[in-house]
Structure 1
Amino acid sequence: MSTSLAPSSDQVNLFHCLPVPRGSYSNVYERQALRMVIIHNAFIRAFNSILYYSAQIPISNPKRINSFIRYCDVVNENLHMHHGIEEELYFSWLEERLGAGSMTCNVDGHHSFEAPFKAFEELVASIRDKKKTFVPVEFRTAIYEFMPPLIDHLKAEIETLRVDKVKHIPEKEVWKMEADTDVKVQGHSNLTTSGQFWVMNGDGKYGAWFPPMPAPILFVCMNVTYYLNTDMWAFGACTKNRMIKPEFAAYEPELEPESSP
Structure 2
Amino acid sequence: MTETTKGNGIANSPFKFIETPAHAQNAKKEPRDQFVRVASLMVLAHNMIIRGLNSIYLQGPLVRPEDNNDFIHYALCWYQALDAHHQTEEELFFPQIEARTGEKGIMDKNIEQHNSFLAPLEAYKSYLISISATPQKFSGKHLNTLIDNFAPPLFVHLGEEISSLLELSRFGADKLPLADIWEPIARKSGSGLSKTGAFVFFFLNTDHDFEDGLWSRWPPIPVPVRAVLIRVLGRWNKGWWRFASCGYNGKMKRLHVYN
Residue 54, structure 1, aligned to residue 57, structure 2: no
Structure showing greater relative contact order (alpha-carbon pairs closer than 8 Å, 6 or more residues apart): 1
- 1:125 has 2:125 as partner: no
Partner AA of 1:144 in structure 2: D
| 1:17 to partner: Cα distance | 0.8
> Contact 1:202 / 1:238 at 8 angstroms: preserved in 2?
yes
Q: 1:75 aligns with which of 71, 74, 78?
A: 78
Aligned residues: 239
| CA deviation after TM superposition for structure 1 residue 229, in Å | 2.9
The alpha carbon displacement at 1:139 in A equals 1.3
**Residue 208 of structure 1, CA deviation:** 2.1
Say if 1:192 and 1:225, in contact at 8 Å, map to a contact too.
yes
What is the match of residue 20 of structure 1? 20
CA contact (8 A) 2:81 2:202 kept: no
1:92 to 95, 117, 131: 95
* Residue 188 (structure 2) aligns with: 184
Deviation string 1:119-178 (CA, Å, 9 cap, x unpaired) is 111111111122882122111101111111101000010001117626613399444423
Identity %: 28
Letter in 2 for 1:158: I
Root mean square deviation, CA, Å? 2.6
User: CA 1:170 to 1:139, structure 2 compared with 1: closer, same or farther past 3 Å?
Assistant: same
What is the aligned partner in structure 2 of residue 244 from structure 1? 252
- Give the Cα separation in 1 of the matches to 2:170 and 2:99: 12
Gap change, CA 1:195 and 1:74, over 3 Å in 2: same
Distance verdict in 2 for CA 1:171–1:180, change over 3 Å: farther
The 2-side partners of 1:138 and 1:172 are apart by: 45
Partner of 1:35: 41
135-144 or 187-196: bigger deviation? 187-196
Correspondent of 1:146 among 147, 150, 161: 150
Structure 1 residue matching 2:158: 3-state secondary structure: helix
Question: CA offset at residue 26 of structure 1?
Answer: 5.0
Alpha-carbon spacing, 1:215–1:119, altered in 2? closer, same or farther (3 Å): same
For residue 9 of structure 2, what is the aligned residue in structure 1?
none
**Structure 1 stretches lacking a partner, 5+ long:** 248-261
- Specify the code of the residue in structure 1 equivalent to 2:229: C
Q: Distance in 1 between matches of 2:38 and 2:163?
A: 10
CA distance in 2, matches of 1:184, 1:33: 18
Deviations 1:3-36 (A, max 9, x none): xx164xx668721111222235753332111001
Distance 1:84 1:132 in 2: 33
Q: Relative to 1, partners in 2 of residues 1:107 and 1:31: Cα closer, same or farther, differing over 3 Å? A: same
Q: Is the 8 A contact 1:196 1:221 kept in 2?
A: no
Gaps of 5+ in 2: 7-12
**Superposed CA offset, 1:66-115 (max 9, x none):** 10011111111111110001000101111223322321111111011101
Q: 1:25 to 1:240 in 2, by over 3 A?
A: farther
TM-score (norm 1): 0.81
Q: 1:237 aligns to what SS in structure 2?
A: coil
Aligned residue among 229, 234, 248 for 1:221: 229
CA–CA distance in 2 between the matches of 1:44 and 1:154? 9
Normalising by structure 2, we get a TM-score of: 0.82
Looking at structure 1, the residues matched to 207 and 84 of structure 2 have their Cα atoms a distance apart, in angstroms, of 19
Q: Residues of 1 paired with 2:187 and 2:47: CA distance?
A: 22
